Amino acid sequence: MQGLIGKKIGMTSLFDENGRNVACTVLQAGPCVVTQVKTKERDGYSAVQLGFEDKKEKHSTLAETGHFRKANTAPKKKVAEFIGYEERRFKEGEVLTAEIFRTGNWVDVRGWSKGKGFQGVVKRHGFSGVGGVTHGQHNRGRAPGSLGASSFPSRVLPGMRMAGHQGNRKVTSISMRIMKLMAEDNILIVKGSVPGPKGAYVIILK
């Protein structure tokens, strides 16, 4: 799919054509530099590699510095491949901006959700806990309770909702409508929420 690398700026609200106030997310979309063009003949598949946001050479490896030097650009903090572009249309070093989008377009936005760390079943799955403080119960208010049968099958079945790591997963918000496009500033305002904190990198696909 065609798209750009961007960054989540924050949230706001806009009025739609029906006068309803809708929650929106502000995204910076590009500018992205074409850092590599992959072809079926040389690489086995067609793709365009884009880089976003400069970083200092002293914070880059020699391999990274050499790779970006071929495209006559500075090292980039974020790199991603897009397979929807026709590779013959682009040259290394070319810059893509938010002008590839239009107001009213529908896009998918991919990012990483906020990490919550190791969480119990009440926060992770919405359990209500054992409940009650009678009959000698102690510190059982947020416990998961029974996990299943004893003699058969004598094990915890796969998929049991238990405590564990929550968040920090790749999440895609699909079919988000572009409410407003400010191409000169590479800003998109899309309807709905986008995974991740402010300042997080996102992939915007059209």
Q: What pLDDT band is residue 182 in, cutting at 50, 70 and 90?
A: very high
Contact between 82 and 1 under an 8 Å Cβ cutoff? The reply is yes
Pairwise CA distance, residues 130 & 140, whole Å = 6
Could you tell me where in the chain the CATH 2.40.30.10 domains are found? 3-115+171-205
pLDDT in tens, 162-176: 999 999 999 999 999
**What's the pTM?**
0.82
Please provide the average confidence, as pLDDT, over all residues in the chain.
89
Largest CA distance in the chain: 74
HEC string of 93-150?
A: CCEECHHHCCCCCEEEEEEECCCCEEECHHHHHCCCCCCCCCCCCCCCCCCCCCCCCC
pLDDT in tens, 21-58: 999 999 999 799 999 998 888 888 888 999 999 999 89
Joined tokens for residue 156: 């915890």
Pairwise CA distance, residues 52 & 27, whole Å = 14
DSSP summary character for residue 155: S
- Homologous superfamily of domain range 3-115+171-205: Translation factors (2.40.30.10)
